[in-house]
Amino acid sequence: MSLFDATPLAAASTTSRQAPLAERMRPRTLEEYVGQEHLLGPGKPLRLAIENDDATSMIFWGPPGTGKTTLAKIIAQRTQSSFIEFSAVLSGIKEIKQVMADAEKASHLGSRTILFVDEIHRFNKAQQDAFLPYVERGTIRLIGATTENPSFEIIAALLSRCRVYTLKGLTEEQIVALLRRALSDVERGLGSSGITAEDEALATIASYSSGDARNALNALEVAVRLTQGRKEKVLTKAIAAEAMQRRVLLYDKKGEQHYDIISALHKSVRNSDPDASLYWLGRMLEAGEDPMYVARRVVRMAVEDIGLAAPEALNLCLSAKDAMHFLGHPEGELALAQAVVYLALAPKSNAVYMAYNAVRSDIAATAAEPVPLHLRNAPTKLMKELDYGKGYQYAHDVEGRVADMECLPPSVAGHRYYFPTNEGREKLLAQRMEETARIKAEKRSG
């Protein structure tokens, strides 16, 4: 791979007619782009960055099919930059260093380079480190795309040099608009096929796509091929369902959609209703929903709504996830059903959930203070001379095994985040917290 083999996107040839419909219909300008109004509407942050030719590197974080690659290509076209597309799945450190060296040579000749890294979260630390000096010097403008949380998957040094933009799944209305455009576009789309589509057919494809434009366009292409073999050149709801290879019964355009039903399942569990929980679980699984997606959400319920009131719930849900993966359909679904019933009947507590949200708020609102000296390790002589570890009290050596020692930094000292409930096991934790508070108070007064 060489940078000098690349050309600015403005000079790129038209996409081949043999390419998939989603690739052919990829928007070429901001005016063609659909969705992400929170970023690309008039006066919105990403729109201003593009219009002002802001050279800052950036990370696009969002689900598949939301236009991350497309945005990167539009930015390259608007800024007349060479565009190099990298896949973290296929590229290694050798390729990274070669492209970086080529980009540095090109920058001396006045050429600008946008390096687009798809699935950047798949690069390891060493590979991500390789970008740092070039991003720092402005040799390249890095645009990374990820479906995973950048805070967890991208190294802090690289993340601090990039702006993170969160992309959202497209709405059904937006996807229907894209499908209509593809059906009528003679040059790049399916306009020459002579196929028309019922409103319900397009709504069916949109409702199944879960906000993924690529998925929807690929399904439309299959549906049009199915329609071409029939007497009437009308794409119907039944043909759309056949193209999606799913039943239409459960996720239709009348509001019974992917996110609505998972919300209903979660809220039924939270409200301790095992029958409703089982019903909504069945609605999702029978509709062909990915059972591992459901399993992930069930694990989320265990930590958000059950918490330490029944800490065994998390292990049960993780076991159900493993059983689903091991057994597959349909036997594995019973493991998920068992987990859902248990969660619905378990004692409820969101105390840890609320506590962690409060912690995040304090972290955002206060300075990132250094760790207090008495809590630091002192493995070297110099550290000891600098008072690392001075004043630390080893809890096992003091009465009650609780030291009267502040463990928070000064700006949040004394803050309390976790307020246990009196539900289930958490009642015992509340008693333990009262006991430790009493011990500390006695030591303070003594």
Which tokens is 107 given?
Answer: 């920058």
How far is residue 11 CA from its own chain's centroid? Answer: 33
CATH of region 172-244, choose from 2.10.10.90, 1.10.8.60, 3.40.50.970, 3.10.20.740: 1.10.8.60
Closest among 207, 203, 206, 199 to 234, alpha carbons compared:
199
What per-residue confidence (pLDDT) applies to 141?
Answer: 84
Compute the distance between CA of residue 265 and CA of residue 281 in angstroms, rounded to an integer. 6
Q: Where in the chain are the domains?
A: 3-166, 172-244, 258-345, 372-445
Compute the distance between CA of residue 226 and CA of residue 232 in angstroms, rounded to an integer. 11
What per-residue confidence (pLDDT) applies to 252?
Answer: 43
Crossing angle for the helix pair 237-244 and 213-228, to the nearest 10 degrees: 120
What per-residue confidence (pLDDT) applies to 11?
Answer: 40
What per-residue confidence (pLDDT) applies to 10?
Answer: 43
Report domain 258-345's class. Answer: mainly alpha
Compute the distance between CA of residue 320 and CA of residue 327 in angstroms, rounded to an integer. 10
Beta bridge partners of 189: none
Beta bridge partners of 166: 61
DSSP string, 211-241: T-HHHHHHHHHHHHHHHHTSSS-EE-HHHHH
| Radius of gyration of the chain, Cα coordinates, nearest whole angstrom | 27
The 10 Å Cβ neighbour count of residue 391 is 10
Which tokens is 301 given?
Answer: 């319920």
Q: Which amino acid belongs to residue 424?
A: G
Say if 3-166 and 172-244 have the same CATH topology. no
Residues recorded for the chain: 446
Residue-by-residue pLDDT tens, the chain, 446 positions: 444 445 444 444 455 667 888 889 899 888 889 988 999 888 888 888 888 887 788 999 888 888 899 999 998 888 888 888 877 666 666 777 677 777 776 666 667 778 888 888 888 888 888 778 778 777 778 898 988 888 878 888 888 888 899 998 888 899 999 999 999 988 888 888 888 888 988 988 888 877 888 888 988 988 888 888 787 888 888 888 888 764 444 344 334 467 788 889 999 999 999 999 999 999 888 877 888 889 999 999 999 999 999 999 999 999 999 999 898 888 899 999 999 999 999 999 999 999 999 999 999 998 889 999 999 999 998 999 899 999 999 999 998 899 999 999 999 999 999 999 999 999 999 999 999 999 999 988 87
Max Cα-Cα span within the chain: 93
3-166: which CATH architecture?
3-Layer(aba) Sandwich (3.40)
pTM given for the model: 0.54
Q: Which amino acid belongs to residue 15?
A: T
Q: Which amino acid belongs to residue 133?
A: P
What per-residue confidence (pLDDT) applies to 432?
Answer: 93
How far is residue 173 CA from its own chain's centroid? Answer: 22
